[in-house]
Amino acid sequence: MSNEMEQLRKQTDDVNLEILKLINRRAELIQQIGQLKTKQSMKRFDPVREREMLDKIKENNNGPFQNATLEHIFKEIFKASLELQEDDHSKALLVSRKKKPENTVVDLKGEKVGDGTASYVFGPCAVESYEQVAAVAESIKSKGLKLLRGGAFKPRTSPYDFQGLGVEGLQILKRVADEYDLAVISEIVNPAHIEEAADYIDVIQIGARNMQNFELLKAAGDSNKPVLLKRGLSATISEFINAAEYIMSRGNGNIILCERGIRTYEKATRNTLDISAVPILKQETHLPVMVDVTHSTGRRDLLLPTAKAALAIGADGVMAEVHPDPAVALSDSAQQMDIPTFDSFFEEIKGLENRLK
Ligand SMILES: [Mn+2]
């Protein structure tokens, strides 16, 4: 290589390092401004100020870069600085791993969700009768499991579909849970019902359609019951995390996150199971993460493979619906497992769990 070329490259390296130093110096200033803005509760993004900066840069531009090119480069720098301020903000989220590095373990009558071993939640989509719930509970108990689900309040797509038995459904769940020594998870849809429901259930479920029902999130945060929070069908991971933050910010940190599929253009499944959300949520938060294989797929033949994927990718548990006679179920009849299917499903999944150990 010619001497001249080497010289120029050396100078370029020096300039790179100077830009690096300057760009980080700028970032430090922006962070200081961010702290001042927080103190004075001012908005971080100020478009007027950004326009002034861009104009000043263009006024002083003597080339060879075009104004438009510089505007693009500086806009990227501005954006990165703003993100830096937002990073400081997410550090402050109570549910974030930055705030609490160790895993949260939620204790449900002795079943420790998030302790490193898989937890399982099974039960019918909707509570229909005592006999129906008891049949599933007996099967759960015989497997040495602890967690029973069942819907008493059913927010359905159509107002003419079965809406659930309401409080009568909660009473059935409570009776069965006492008889079989199980912990009960059931969805609550109305903030006013939380106190009453606390007499019957062990875990408040907030369903996908209510993930951003902020009054419900706050009411769940005010209660001392653990909460299973499902991801909204069109919620981003960040929105999901912030929904959990609504609960935790009120003082209730016993939260289990549940990925249940999101709406995409794909029609082969009812929703698209966003399996990569599991490790992302585990990285970003300290909360246990479960996967609902029933509602994410809407297909009985996919329950086992997706449950395996959930465990393999590091989920803390799996949730699936079981009904003694799915064909006559009042809701989700296409994807609930009957008891023999449930038996073989669980045998297979336990086999995988042991191999993963
Ligand atoms: Mn269901």
Examine the pLDDT at 90 and tell me if it is beyond 60. no
Examine the pLDDT at 89 and tell me if it is beyond 70. no
Which CATH superfamily, name and number, covers 2-92?
Chorismate mutase (1.20.59.10)
Q: Ligand 1 mean position to 196 CA, how many Å? A: 23
Supply φ then ψ for residue 259, to 5 degrees.
-80, 130
Q: Are 286 and 95 in contact (CB under 8 A)?
A: yes
Q: Are 290 and 259 in contact (CB under 8 A)?
A: yes
Examine the pLDDT at 178 and tell me if it is beyond 90. yes
- Report the pLDDT averaged over residues 51-71: 93
Examine the pLDDT at 333 and tell me if it is beyond 80. yes
Q: Ligand 1 mean position to 126 CA, how many Å? A: 7
- Report the pLDDT averaged over residues 224-242: 97
Locate 272 and state its tokens. Answer: 């698209």
Confidence of residue 1 (pLDDT cuts 50, 70, 90): low
Locate 128 and state its tokens. Answer: 């229909």
Q: Ligand 1 mean position to 296 CA, how many Å? A: 10
- Report the pLDDT averaged over residues 42-65: 89
Domain ranges of the chain: 2-92, 106-356
Domains 2-92 and 106-356 share a fold: no
Q: Ligand 1 mean position to 39 CA, how many Å? A: 46
Q: Ligand 1 mean position to 321 CA, how many Å? A: 7
Q: Ligand 1 mean position to 82 CA, how many Å? A: 42
| Closest by Cα among 299, 324, 343 to 135 | 324
Measure Cα distances from 47 to 39, 58, 71, 82 in Å. 20, 16, 14, 12
Measure Cα distances from 258 to 153, 194, 315, 342, 350 in Å. 18, 20, 9, 20, 20
Q: Ligand 1 mean position to 333 CA, how many Å? A: 8
Whole-angstrom distance, CA of residue 295 vs CA of residue 19: 51
Task: Write out pLDDT tens, residues 275-304.
Answer: 999 999 999 999 999 999 999 999 999 999
Task: Write out pLDDT tens, residues 244-277.
Answer: 999 999 999 999 999 999 999 999 999 999 999 9
Q: Ligand 1 mean position to 67 CA, how many Å? A: 57
Q: Ligand 1 mean position to 225 CA, how many Å? A: 22
Locate 149 and state its tokens. Answer: 């689900």
Q: Ligand 1 mean position to 135 CA, how many Å? A: 17
Q: Ligand 1 mean position to 331 CA, how many Å? A: 6
Instruction: Give the CATH number of domain 106-356.
Output: 3.20.20.70
Q: CB within 5 A of ion ligand 1: which residues?
A: 125, 332
Q: Ligand 1 mean position to 107 CA, how many Å? A: 24
Neighbours of 47 (CB within 10 A): 8
Instruction: Please tell me the predicted confidence (pLDDT) of residue 101.
Output: 94
